[in-house]
Structure 1
Amino acid sequence: MDVASVLHMNGGTGEASYANNSLLQQKVMSITKPIRDEAIRSIYNGKLPKSLAIADLGCSSGPNTLFMIYELIETVEMLCRELNHESPEYIVFLNDLPGNDFNNIFKSLECFKQNLSTQIVGGIRKCYITGLPASFYGRILPTNSLHFVHSSYSLHWMSQVPKGIENNKGNICMTSTSPLDVRNSYYHQFQRDFSLFLKCRARELVEGGRMVLTLQGRSTSGPSSNESCYVWELLVEALNEMVLEGIIKEDQIDSFNIPQYYPSPSELQLEIEKEGSFTLNLLEVFEVSWKAACGKEHVGNNEGYKVAQLIRAVAEPLLVSHFGEAIINDVFHRYQHILADRMSKEKIVFLNLVVSLTKTT
C-alpha cells in the first residue's frame, strides 16, 4: 500500500464525507483549545512578530480546519488588545497529503476572511493562507519559517504500513492477538516516523517556537487495548461475515493492515527526549466517548450509524484501494449494526494524548 497516495479523508460534502462526519474530532479540538491558546499567546508575547506563521499539519477539510485557525487568530488579537499592540499579519500553511480535498477548503476562504473582518473586534490586518500538499514525515517548509505548529488526529497515522507483518493474520491493525514481531514492527515504524517528524519541525520552527500535537493513544503499557484498536477489531467482524458468505476472500483480510499506531504517554515522551530539540511543557491524557461522533440529536438514536460514518469518512479510501468499491456499502451496513450492539452494552472511548512543546535547540 502506497500510503501517501491513498490515505486521505473522504472529500466533498456528501453523506459519507469527512466534512459531515467529524464531530468527534471537533470535540477533541474543543477540549485542547486552552492548550493551543496558551502556546500561541506564549510565542506571540515572546516574539511580538510583525508576521506570525502558523502551520496546521494533517489539516484535512471541512469546518474544523478553518475554525481552528479562526480561534488561533482570535486569541492573538485578544492579546494584541491587551498589550495595545498592532496586529500581526498572519501566514497560514494548511498541510495534508496530496489526495486531501483542498478545493473544499479553498471554497470556504472568502466566507472565512469575511468572518475575520466582521466578527473579530477591530478586524485584522492581512491573513495569507496557502495549501501545502505533502507528507509531514519530511521537510515541507524553509528553515526557521514557523512560529506555531498544530496537528490534531493525524500523527497516529504512519508513513507506511510496517514491513514484516505478513503473519498478522485475522487482524487489520496491531491488536492483543498480533504476534510479538508484528507488535515490534509497528512500534519501530512509529519510532522512526515520530522522530523524523520532530527533526523536521525543529528545523522549520524559530527558536522558542511552539507545537501542540494531539493524537489517539493508549494509557496502558501493553501494545494494544480497547482504547485504541477496538474500532478496527469490530470492522474486522463485519469483514469476516462477508468472508463466510463468500463475498470477499480471507487472504484479502490477512493482507490488509491499517497504518496506525497508538502510543502510550511514556512512548511519546521517550521519543521527544531522545530527539532532543524540544522541551516538553505538557503531556495530558483524556478520553472522548464514541458517542461524541453522533451529535446531540443522535445520542441514543442511531449511534451505530454515526460512528460507522465517522470511520467510513476516515478509512473508505484505504478500503477501496484494497478491497474495491463494490463491497463498501455492504461492509459499513454490517458494521453499523455491530457498533450499535456494542455501544448499547459498553462504555467505549477513544483515548487521546496531547503534548505542548517548545523548540529549544
Structure 2
Amino acid sequence: MVLEVKQVLRMKEGTDETSYGKTSYIQKQVLSLTKSIKEKAIMDFYCKEQPTTLCIADLGCSSAELNTLGVVSELIDATEKARRQLGNGHQEYQVYLNDLPWNDFNTIFRSLESFEDNLKKQMGNNFGHCFVNGVPGSFFGRLFPTKHLHFVHSSYSLMWLSQISKVELPKSLSSIMVVTIKNHRSRRVFPLKQFMQGFIEEAKLHTFNIPQYTPSAEEISFIMEKEGSFNLNQVHISEIGWEANEHYNNNNINDPSSSFDHYDFVKCMRSVAEPLLVSHFGETIIEELFKRYMEIVKVSMANEKNVFVNVTVSLTRKGCSI
C-alpha cells in the first residue's frame, strides 16, 4: 500500500488549463503570505554563516514552476541583498527540488533556462552561479548527506503522508527550515459522501482516504519539542479564502455574475485530487464527479466564507544559533 501511495501521490501533470501548474492559485497565495518569514530566515542565516555555497531545498516542489522557482528566486534575491550589504563577492547557490518520483519534474526542468536568464538580469553582473537539481524520493527517507542543507522550504507538502515513518531531515539540515502546513480548522474540501453517495459503490467509497495530517499550531510545537532537533523561532497563522484574488481573477473582476471563482476553485482542487481519485475509482467517473462537486462548491461559496487556515513555522536546528 505504501508503494501505491507513492506512485499516485502527485499533482496533475502538464501545462494545460486543468494542470496543477495552471490552477494552483491557492498555493501561490500561501507562498505570498509567507514571503517575509522565508526572507528573514534566510537573510539571518546568511549574515551569520556566509557560506561559500548556499544549499537550498524545496520539499514537495510539485510541477508549478511559477510557484517553486518563484520561491527560489525570492530566497536568492533576499540573500543577494544581504551579500551586497556585507560587501561580499560572488555567491554560489545549490538548489534541490524534491518530490516523489512520479512527479512531473519535466515541466519545471523545461523552464530552468529562462529562470536562470531572469536571475542574471535581476541580480546584475555581480551575480554568481545557481545550480539546480531534481531530487526524486520521499522526504520520509534519507535524501541528502549529513548537515548538507542550509535552508529548507516546504509549503503544503509535509501534511501529505506517503508513509508513516520518521523523517530523516534533521540529519541533513545544518541550520534553518520554514514549513507551511494546512491547519485542521480548515473547512473539509472533499466531503466525499456528500457528492459521491449513490454514484460510487459503497465498498470503494469506504476504502478511499485523502492521506493528509493537518495539525494545529499547538501540535506542531509539541512535536518539535518532543523530536528535539529544532528550536522553534516563529509560528504564524494565516487564512486563505477559496476565491481567486483580484490579480488572478482580473479577466472577470467586472462581471458580478461570473462563476469564475467556483470554476477556478474546482479546477485547483481537481489538479490536486484527480490522480488519487483515478487510481482508486478509475477515469470514467471523473467528469461527472467534478460536475457534482461544482454544484456543492457554488452553494458553499454563496452561503459562507470558506478559508484554508495555515500554520507556518520557522525552525533552526539546535546548535546553529542565528
1:271 aligned onto 2:239: no
**Contact 2:182-2:309 at 8 Å conserved across structures:** yes
Question: What is the SS of the residue equivalent to 2:204?
Answer: helix
Residue from 64, 69, 89 that aligns with 2:67: 64
The equivalent residue for 1:27 is: 29
Which consecutive aligned stretches of 4+ in structure 1 deviate over 2 angstroms post-superposition?
292-301
Identity %: 45
The equivalent residue for 1:216 is: 182
The equivalent residue for 1:237 is: 194
In 2, distance between residues paired with 1:319 and 1:293?
Answer: 28
Q: 1:4: Cα distance to partner?
A: 0.8
1:260 aligned onto 2:228: no
The equivalent residue for 1:144 is: 147
In 2, distance between residues paired with 1:205 and 1:293?
Answer: 35
After superposition, the C-alpha distances for 1:220-249 in whole angstroms (9 at most, x for unaligned) are: xxxxx5x24x2121x432212xx2xxx431
Residue from 8, 13, 24 that aligns with 1:6: 8
Q: 1:123: Cα distance to partner?
A: 4.8
In 1, distance between residues paired with 2:243 and 2:211?
Answer: 24
Question: How many aligned residue pairs are there?
Answer: 310
The equivalent residue for 1:119 is: 122
The equivalent residue for 1:336 is: 294
Question: What is the SS of the residue equivalent to 2:21?
Answer: coil
**Contact 2:56-2:94 at 8 Å conserved across structures:** yes
**Contact 1:117-1:124 at 8 Å conserved across structures:** yes
Question: What is the SS of the residue equivalent to 1:215?
Answer: strand
Aligned-residue Cα RMSD (Å) equals 1.5
Alignment of 1:115-194 (within 5 A): 115-160=118-163, 193=165
In 1, distance between residues paired with 2:213 and 2:70?
Answer: 27
Which consecutive residues of structure 2, in runs of 5 or more, have no partner in the other structure? Answer: none
Paired letter, 2:235: L
Which consecutive residues of structure 1, in runs of 5 or more, have no partner in the other structure? Answer: 161-188, 219-224
**Contact 2:177-2:315 at 8 Å conserved across structures:** yes
In 2, distance between residues paired with 1:129 and 1:213?
Answer: 21
TM-score normalised by structure 2 residue count: 0.93
**Contact 2:69-2:115 at 8 Å conserved across structures:** yes
In 1, distance between residues paired with 2:44 and 2:160?
Answer: 29
The equivalent residue for 1:46 is: 48
The equivalent residue for 2:172 is: 204
Question: What is the SS of the residue equivalent to 1:350?
Answer: strand
**Contact 1:70-1:116 at 8 Å conserved across structures:** yes
Paired letter, 1:64: N
Question: What is the SS of the residue equivalent to 1:296?
Answer: coil
1:251 aligned onto 2:203: yes
Q: 1:125: Cα distance to partner?
A: 1.0
Question: What is the SS of the residue equivalent to 2:189?
Answer: helix
Q: 1:353: Cα distance to partner?
A: 0.3
In 2, distance between residues paired with 1:275 and 1:211?
Answer: 15
**Contact 2:25-2:244 at 8 Å conserved across structures:** yes
Question: What is the SS of the residue equivalent to 2:211?
Answer: coil
1:88 aligned onto 2:91: yes
The equivalent residue for 1:173 is: none
After superposition, the C-alpha distances for 1:179-213 in whole angstroms (9 at most, x for unaligned) are: xxxxxxxxxx5xxx5xx22xx2211012xx10000
**Contact 2:89-2:126 at 8 Å conserved across structures:** no
TM-score normalised by structure 1 residue count: 0.83
**Contact 1:289-1:350 at 8 Å conserved across structures:** yes
